[in-house]
Amino acid sequence: MKAYFVRILCFACLCAFLMMPQQDAFAQNPAADKIAAVNGTEENTPQNEAAKPAPFDPKAAPYSKSLFFKDEEISAIQRALLGISATGDTQSNKPKKPRILTLSGVLYKSPDDWVVWLNGNRVTPKNQLPEIINIQVEPTKIHLKWFDYGFNDVIFITLRPNQFYDIETGLLLPGKG
């Protein structure tokens, strides 16, 4: 296990070294600069001023947050995981379903063995609706993170059997809806 972490650390150090801006060895001659400084013949010309490298700015370094993706690419991946198209148009991806969440029933055996009837669909731990981001099932209620295409946002809701939630109005009422 220790060898695994040592390999990861070495890989991270290598990546950090490769991301640092490299100085051009042919454009500068540090030995000549040291000799000129010792002899007192160093010139403060604009040409020497321009030849000095700028100090390293970690904020300006590429890949400051990710080694592999830019911020725009990370945002596009997150939108794709939520079901939003690359153009941001949710109408093409939007299923023609009512914007009402109806919980008909809960059959709970254990945290990994349950069945929920949501909007007339049978939902299990292995078979979930695409709009469900996260679901936690208890014997008498469910806690749901639901992605709504109309709001283009995630809704946090707790439902009990025989309740419905109207997403557009925000009403949680008993009954079939």
Residues counted in the chain: 177
Q: Does residue 122 sit within a domain?
A: yes
Return the higher-pLDDT residue of 126 and 57.
126
Indicate whether 124 belongs to any domain: yes
- Does any domain span residue 147? yes
**pLDDT at residue 74 in the model:** 76
Mind listing the pLDDT tens digit for each residue in 41-68?
555 555 555 566 666 555 554 444 567 7
Residue 14 in domain: no
138-148 average pLDDT score: 92
> How far is 118 from 125, CA to CA, in rounded Å?
13
Buried b / exposed e over 46-57, threshold 16 CB at 10 Å, is: eeeeeeeeeeee
pLDDT computed for residue 26 by the predictor: 47
**Class of residue 107 by CB neighbours under 10 A (exposed 0-12, middle 13-18, buried 19+):** middle
Residues 6 or more apart whose CB falls under 8 angstroms from that of 146 comprise: 101, 131, 132, 133, 154, 155, 157
139, part of any domain: yes
Domain assignment present for residue 129? The answer is yes
Secondary structure class of 12 (helix, strand, coil): helix
Residues 6+ apart with CB under 8 A from 66: 74
26 located within any domain: no
pTM over 0.85: no
What is the C-alpha to C-alpha distance for residues 142 and 19, in angstroms, rounded to an integer?
46
- Give Cα separations from 139 to 20, 115, 161 (angstroms): 54, 10, 10
Alpha carbon distance 152, 133 (integer Å) = 13
Give the least confident one: 9-23, 67-81, 162-176: 9-23
In this prediction, residue 91 has a pLDDT band, given cuts at 50, 70 and 90, of low
Domains identified in the chain, total number: 1
Q: What is the mean pLDDT of the chain?
A: 75
Domain residues for 143?
Answer: 100-174
Taking Cα atoms as reference points, which of 94, 117, 99, 97 lies closest to residue 165?
99
pLDDT higher at 103 or 43: 103
Statement: residue 40 has pLDDT above 70: no
Q: Higher-confidence residue: 165 or 5?
A: 165
Task: Report yes or no: 146 and 136 within 8 Å, Cβ to Cβ.
Answer: no
Higher pLDDT, 124 or 62: 124
User: Per-residue pLDDT averaged across 69-90, rounded?
Assistant: 72
Asked whether residue 131 is assigned to any structural domain, the reply reads yes
Please give the backbone phi and psi of residue 74, each rounded to the nearest 5 degrees, phi first.
Answer: -65, -40
Q: Is the pLDDT of residue 25 over 50?
A: no
